Structure 1
Amino acid sequence: MATVLVTGSAGFIGGYVVQDLLGRGYDVVGLDNLSKYGPVARSYDEHPNYRFVEGDARDTDLLSELLADCDHFIAGAAMIGGISYFHTYAYDLLATNERIIASSCDAAIRVFRAGGRLRKVTYLSSSMVFESTDRWPSVEGDERRVAPPLSSYGFQKLAVEYFARAAWDQYALPYTIARPFNCVGVGEGRALGEVEVLSGNVKLAMSHVVPDLVQKVLKDQDPLHILGDGSQVRHYTYGGDLAAGIVTAMEHPDALNEDFNLSTAESTTVLELAELIWKKIKGQDEEFRYVSDDPFQYDVAKRVPNVDKAQRVLGFTADTPLETMLDEVIPWIEQAVTDGRI
């Protein structure tokens, strides 16, 4: 079976991707510098087809060495987090992630041109490339037609896609771009860092909206603090579904030099999400109470994807219901809160 290098393998989406690859019989090499969460235990750590390397994706020589024996490269390493995270670290996100993507492409080009086994790079982008859109749903290609993102994170993720296409244009390095929307799942912890972000009386995990809302309800925040008026529209997509879409895009012959929105087709407002979490934890009879905090500057009002291309080309559908995701996530967050990890 083929061998896949996954950078950012200890990250949130990376963990799901490694699990999916191993389930399909691939040999997997994971690379991560453990800078966000520190050491993370995974169920597959001792899997015979998995090898973890602690290292930095900005190290081009290390990446080249690892890629020399790989057939595929899933370039997922990045500083990444929820809205509070990419406001707090606006410059670091841009500078670090640019160095990571440049190093990733340099190593892949080096190995590919040397006649190695590498067939293709699958790049992980983000729905934030559509941050400034004024048209919905966002279709593949809109990221090059609408205004560029205003946040440094969204702008850098758009740059990832330009790196992918430029490496093909100049060096014929094959690519696929996978564009996840609002991942929900287990595996997130409190991000390492010196900055604390408060929402009411609760310190945010600086990750994503679902774990932050869950922990606030579990810690009996009443009324519940939400950012803005709660009308923001998102497409919350299960991590296992996203991983399946990413790996399918990696291996599908018709995905060559294509980009795909990977997402559930279901829209949910932040207020609907908050009430659903409240009711699941507190019960249906407990009145839902909330207050609105000032939103962050780049809290996008609407992120709605068109998912037709992924369905048509890849046969991929993200169909795990939000309630099912929460039934998995809430107990995990509850244990993490008990253990002091969030």
Structure 2
Amino acid sequence: MKVLVTGSAGFIGGYVVAELLGRGHEVVGLDNHSKYGPVAHAYDDHPGYRFVVGDARDVDLLTELLADCDHLIAGAAMIGGISYFHTYAYDLLATNERIMAATCDAAIRAQRERRLRKVTYLSSSMVFESTDRWPSREGDERTVPPPRSSYGFQKLAVEYYARAAWEQYGLPYTIVRPFNCVGVGEGRALGEVEVLSGNVKLAMSHVVPDLVQKIVKGQDPLHILGDGGQVRHYTYGGDLARGIVLAVEHEAARNEDFNLSTAESTTVLELARLIWRKVKGPDVPFRHVCDEPFAHDVRRRVPDVGKARSVLGFTATTSLDAMLDEVIPWVVRAVRDGRL
């Protein structure tokens, strides 16, 4: 199987490419390096991998790359942690809509003219931003109030693109919703905007690397957005990649959507305490202060994981402890090297 992965140099994209290659698939990666700049991966010289520097808004380029591909994983997007999608609220919405329209245009053309079998779209748990029911089940996103943030709204639009392309053009799809990805590879987002948390400039990445870098840089007391009671499901990037690739491969995933997540709930304050203890040791008292939260800092994000388990046979197995034992040393090195 040959797969085109857009956004292949991104955070989740890197894990997805590695998983595909590990399962014996041929991969074409496309990325314009707009988030982090050029990045190196262990698989860059893999004989089954071809990387193209290019823009996912270029319909002709996408169509050319899809000429002999069986599958497309639509992962290209402006994406980041909560500080990122508040800082770039308009740019994110406008850019991602253009990416998605171009992706669907190229996929529709490629399916009609060549051999493309399916598009797997990366959505987000933020489609459930305004829910009032937990756990969030597949289908709730169409019955609860729409997301309030431009990021959540745009990710819901991704799902509408997927279904509309099927309804009008018969383009098969699978929708996957990663929940709170944790892993290595998130550097400092490019851009001139500075977002401070106490005395530390945020990388505008997800919560784990931002908390780790603040502790590593000596912030004491630790600044936490809100009261720390926000509930999340921190899921390892390698587990998410496995779920995404299962959704690509599985025949029963055709025209279906899946929440991909650990079943374990953790509050932000529990996460912060755990990271503090791992970085500082058990003898340094944990101290924190609560900063004003961002407007769209969802209180609870709790998925139902039953559909992915029963249909795909997918379960996220990596513990939060194991994730942090991998991520913390990576962040320490990134801080030391000036990358965070």
Q: TM-score range by the shorter chain?
A: over 0.9
How far 1:228 moved relative to its partner? Answer: 0.3
- Does the residue aligned with 1:281 lie in a helix, a strand or coil? helix
Instruction: Provide the C-alpha distance between the structure 2 equivalents of 1:325 and 1:106, rounded to a whole number of angstroms.
Output: 38
- Does the residue aligned with 1:29 lie in a helix, a strand or coil? strand
Which residue in the other structure is 1:117 paired with?
A: 115
In structure 2, the gaps of 5 or more residues are: none
User: AA paired with 2:172?
Assistant: P
Instruction: Provide the C-alpha distance between the structure 2 equivalents of 1:34 and 1:286, rounded to a whole number of angstroms.
Output: 39
* Residue 320 (structure 1) aligned with residue 318 (structure 2): yes
Instruction: Provide the C-alpha distance between the structure 2 equivalents of 1:161 and 1:43, rounded to a whole number of angstroms.
Output: 32
Which residue in the other structure is 2:96 paired with?
A: 97
In structure 1, the gaps of 5 or more residues are: none
Which residue in the other structure is 1:81 paired with?
A: 80
- Does the residue aligned with 1:291 lie in a helix, a strand or coil? strand
Instruction: Provide the C-alpha distance between the structure 2 equivalents of 1:225 and 1:274, rounded to a whole number of angstroms.
Output: 10
How far 1:16 moved relative to its partner? Answer: 0.0
Which residue in the other structure is 2:129 paired with?
A: 131
RMSD across aligned positions (CA):
0.4
Which residue in the other structure is 2:273 paired with?
A: 275
Which residue in the other structure is 1:52 paired with?
A: 51
Which residue in the other structure is 2:303 paired with?
A: 305
User: AA paired with 2:117?
Assistant: R
Instruction: Provide the C-alpha distance between the structure 1 equivalents of 2:132 and 2:242, rounded to a whole number of angstroms.
Output: 30
* Residue 214 (structure 1) aligned with residue 212 (structure 2): yes
Which residue in the other structure is 2:330 paired with?
A: 332
Instruction: Provide the C-alpha distance between the structure 1 equivalents of 2:45 and 2:339, rounded to a whole number of angstroms.
Output: 23
Q: Per-residue displacement from partner, 1:285-316 (whole Å, max 9, x unpaired)?
A: 21110000000000000100000000000000
User: AA paired with 2:147?
Assistant: P
Which runs of structure 2 are paired with 1:119-268 in the superposition (5 Å)?
119-268=117-266
User: AA paired with 2:190?
Assistant: L
- Does the residue aligned with 2:227 lie in a helix, a strand or coil? coil
Instruction: Provide the C-alpha distance between the structure 2 equivalents of 1:285 and 1:142, rounded to a whole number of angstroms.
Output: 45
Q: Per-residue displacement from partner, 1:17-55 (whole Å, max 9, x unpaired)?
A: 000000000000000000000000000000000000000
User: AA paired with 1:76?
Assistant: G
Q: Per-residue displacement from partner, 1:120-156 (whole Å, max 9, x unpaired)?
A: 0000000000000000000000000000000000000
Which residue in the other structure is 2:15 paired with?
A: 16
Instruction: Provide the C-alpha distance between the structure 2 equivalents of 1:228 and 1:268, rounded to a whole number of angstroms.
Output: 15
Q: Per-residue displacement from partner, 1:214-245 (whole Å, max 9, x unpaired)?
A: 00110110000000000000000000000000
User: AA paired with 1:332?
Assistant: W
User: AA paired with 2:301?
Assistant: R
How far 1:319 moved relative to its partner? Answer: 1.3
Which residue in the other structure is 1:294 paired with?
A: 292
Q: TM-score, normalised by structure 2?
A: 1.00
User: AA paired with 1:49?
Assistant: G
Instruction: Provide the C-alpha distance between the structure 2 equivalents of 1:124 and 1:109, rounded to a whole number of angstroms.
Output: 17
Q: Per-residue displacement from partner, 1:186-231 (whole Å, max 9, x unpaired)?
A: 0010000110000000000001100000001101100000000000
Instruction: Provide the C-alpha distance between the structure 2 equivalents of 1:266 and 1:25, rounded to a whole number of angstroms.
Output: 31
How far 1:284 moved relative to its partner? Answer: 1.2
User: AA paired with 2:105?
Assistant: D
Query: Hey, which bits of structure 1, 4+ residues long, moved more than 6 A?
Result: none
Instruction: Provide the C-alpha distance between the structure 2 equivalents of 1:141 and 1:207, rounded to a whole number of angstroms.
Output: 28
Instruction: Provide the C-alpha distance between the structure 1 equivalents of 2:93 and 2:242, rounded to a whole number of angstroms.
Output: 28
- Does the residue aligned with 1:280 lie in a helix, a strand or coil? helix
Which residue in the other structure is 2:62 paired with?
A: 63
